[in-house]
Amino acid sequence: MDSIDKESKLKEIKQNLIRFASKTFKEMKELEIRSLNISNSNAILENNDIGIFRIHFGENDFNEIDEEEVDSKKQSITIKNKKKLFLSSPAITMARNLRELLLNIDKLPDQQSFTMNPTKFTIIESYVQFLLNKLKSSSTKEAFVEELRCNNDNFLEIGLPPNNENLKDNFEITSKVNLLKMEESSFERSKEEIIKALVAQLISIYDNVLQEYIEAEINRRNGFRNYLNFLKIYKKIEIFCNIYKIRLKGQTIKNQTNTKIVDYSEQKIKLTTLTITLRAAKRIDRLLSLSNKNFLIVDIFPNLDVAFFKSSSINVAAYECWLKIIETGEIISEEQGYEIYQQKKKEENSLRENILKQVYESAGYESAEYESAEYYYIDEESPRYYPDNDNPDNEESPRYYPDNEESILPMDSSLPFTSSFLFLFHFPSLPFLLPFPL
């Protein structure tokens, strides 16, 4: 950091401290606090009415006051720790919004062809609430389509045709000096023609900005479909990897799929990349199962993208709880979420084994020939799962910890109106497991 940046940073810190001190001073006057001494573990206040009052803080930053403990006779109180939430507030907000969408999804056009107009909404959450309100107030699909028509300035059509009348950036116009040298008879006409030409160029650029936005939105939606196609092909490879012509009695069939993919892709797809991609694909698939595979559940909200499902900051139990909010509107415990995950895992393994069973039966094999084998599948989501690599410098090693760039949540509240904003959301700075109060 150079001296200029350091000086600027220090100035910013001082300004924040001044604002904090000023705000605290005003609140002290309102509460008639004559003195305040505060540390990491406790605070000592002197009030005109109750005298000296001591407050002992809990061990974390998220504390709550037990109102029954607040007694006018007591001169001290301990603020008890509040249980941390394992789902962040933005994650819960997204789940509740998806819950509302799921309840009204039948009112949406079969082929959803609109998205947010970034010139009308600078905050995505405002658009989400606007859209949900329109959905809830519409009694039928036809009524909602009419709402779209009446509010067409708030939406953009997906597939907006590019402007075929784009002007070249370097098109020539009469210079300002030459314009002033013109005769009075031609001055006004030439002036209006120049302004008209410039406005036409402005419109062309504006259309390009909107087109880029739409293309980015199409890419966001295609991302969900690509991940599901990835999962579909992965499952096919998985079946082929577990088909054997001759099987030894008691032979354990391990999931060789990941190794085969890494080897045959010539390391283009690394094991860590494969694990993250599968995690996202399976989570997207689980969400779609709530809407009977209706992609509108992932298409509608522009602040939901694949990065949300790739995040390792939300564990398997928390994700099941997140899905349960969408499905029922209720928040279940982490333990209940983990039980659901285990049950879904058993169902997934059972389905996979049944598919293999059907393959062998179709080929004329007796049941004893494949039922004698023990099926074992590696669980990439398990905290006990480690790739077979002990090199700490290799990203496939259990001791390798990369910078976690995908641990992000799609809840960025602002959307600058530039071409660079086009849904490159990594939903900044909102890790899932940070505790936020409801």
- On the question of pLDDT at 278 being above 90, the answer is yes
Q: Which of 81, 116, 144 is the last residue of a domain?
A: 81
Residue 140 DSSP one-character state: S
Distance CA 222, CA 295 (A): 10
Q: Considering the domain boundaries, does residue 409 fall inside one? A: yes
Tell me, yes or no, whether 391 and 273 share the same domain. yes
Better pLDDT: 291 or 396: 291
Torsion of CA 368, 374, 379, 385, to 10 degrees: -160
Better pLDDT: 337 or 73: 337
Average pLDDT over every residue of 265-278: 89
Tell me, yes or no, whether 250 and 360 share the same domain. yes
Residue 216 in contact with residue 115, Cβ under 8 Å? no
Tell me, yes or no, whether 58 and 94 share the same domain. no
Q: What tens digit of pLDDT does each residue of 410-429 get?
A: 433 333 333 333 333 333 33
pLDDT for 369 equals: 54
Question: At 373, is the secondary structure helix, strand, or coil?
Answer: coil
Q: Which of 42, 60, 81 is the last residue of a domain?
A: 81
pLDDT category, 160, cuts 50, 70, 90?
very low
DSSP string, 146-207: HHHHHTGGGEEETTPPPPTTPPPTT-----HHHHHTS-HHHHHHHHHHHHHHHHHHHHHHHH
Q: What percent of the chain has pLDDT over 70?
A: 69
pLDDT for 139 equals: 86
Q: Considering the domain boundaries, does residue 433 fall inside one? A: no
Strands 252-253 and 374-375 come out as parallel
Distance CA 151, CA 164 (A): 26
Tell me, yes or no, whether 10 and 102 share the same domain. no
Residue 348 in contact with residue 332, Cβ under 8 Å? no
Tell me, yes or no, whether 235 and 376 share the same domain. yes
**Helix, strand, coil content of the chain in percent (nearest 5):** 50, 10, 40
At position 72, the amino acid (one-letter code) is S
pLDDT for 59 equals: 53
DSSP string, 296-323: HHHHS-TT--HHHHH-SSS-HHHHHHHH
Q: Considering the domain boundaries, does residue 388 fall inside one? A: yes
Q: What tens digit of pLDDT does each residue of 176-208 get?
A: 787 787 887 788 888 888 888 888 888 888 888
Q: What tens digit of pLDDT does each residue of 21-72 get?
A: 888 888 888 788 888 888 777 788 887 777 787 777 665 444 444 444 455 5
Q: What tens digit of pLDDT does each residue of 144-159 get?
A: 888 888 877 888 877 5
- On the question of pLDDT at 320 being above 90, the answer is yes
Tell me, yes or no, whether 121 and 221 share the same domain. yes
- On the question of pLDDT at 10 being above 70, the answer is yes
Q: Considering the domain boundaries, does residue 173 fall inside one? A: no
At position 162, the amino acid (one-letter code) is P
Q: Considering the domain boundaries, does residue 430 fall inside one? A: no
pLDDT for 368 equals: 53
Tell me, yes or no, whether 276 and 344 share the same domain. yes
Q: Which of 64, 81, 98 is the last residue of a domain?
A: 81
Distance CA 327, CA 189 (A): 64
* Greatest pairwise CA separation for the chain in angstroms: 102
Q: Which domain holds residue 46?
A: 3-81
Distance CA 298, CA 172 (A): 46
pLDDT for 424 equals: 31
Tell me, yes or no, whether 252 and 341 share the same domain. yes
pLDDT for 279 equals: 94
Mean pLDDT of the chain: 74
Tell me, yes or no, whether 408 and 321 share the same domain. yes
Q: Considering the domain boundaries, does residue 40 fall inside one? A: yes
Average pLDDT over every residue of 81-85: 50
How many structural domains are present in the chain?
2
Distance CA 82, CA 64 (A): 6
Question: At 393, is the secondary structure helix, strand, or coil?
Answer: coil
- On the question of pLDDT at 382 being above 60, the answer is no
Tell me, yes or no, whether 244 and 349 share the same domain. yes
Tell me, yes or no, whether 62 and 101 share the same domain. no
Q: What tens digit of pLDDT does each residue of 118-135 get?
A: 878 878 888 899 989 988
Tell me, yes or no, whether 67 and 112 share the same domain. no
Distance CA 138, CA 221 (A): 25
Q: Considering the domain boundaries, does residue 170 fall inside one? A: no
Q: Considering the domain boundaries, does residue 389 fall inside one? A: yes
Q: What tens digit of pLDDT does each residue of 216-252 get?
A: 888 899 999 999 999 999 999 988 888 877 655 544 4
